[in-house]
Amino acid sequence: MPTSIIDSFPRQNPRAAMRTIEDQTVVVIPDTSMLFDLNEVASFIWKRMDGRHNLKKIIEEVENEFDIDHETATGDAVELIENMKEAGLAVFDTE
């Protein structure tokens, strides 16, 4: 298990259904019928949650794409991933 969420390899919940329209992503969890509307940055992160990129790498990409400082990008991404995990949107691989 990763020592930190930063070292984790988040993946989209394979049971989630999603649609992206103009950089906005809407995700539905069929088990709960919960609907999530992701903003542009959250959509960017969601698209990279493939189990091959650790959160540290995703944060670097967010910093570059949105010209956000490291501290802000890290805090926001960690909070988002933790919320996604709690909501059932994110699952984690350790490799």
Kindly give, in sequence order, each residue whose CB lies less than 8 Å from that of residue 44, ignoring residues fewer than 6 positions away.
23, 61, 62, 65, 66
User: Which residues face 17 on adjacent strands?
Assistant: 28
The backbone torsions φ and ψ at residue 4, rounded to the nearest 5 degrees and listed phi first, read -150, 155
Whether 55 and 81 have beta carbons less than 8 Å apart is answered as: yes
pTM of the predicted protein model: 0.87
Per-residue pLDDT reduced to its tens digit, 47-65: 999 999 999 999 999 999 9
The pLDDT tens digits along the chain (95 residues) read 445 889 999 999 999 999 988 767 899 998 888 899 999 999 999 999 999 999 999 999 999 999 999 999 999 999 999 999 999 999 986 54
33: left (phi over 0), alpha (psi -120 to 50) or beta: left
Closest-CA residue to 95 (of 50, 41, 38): 50
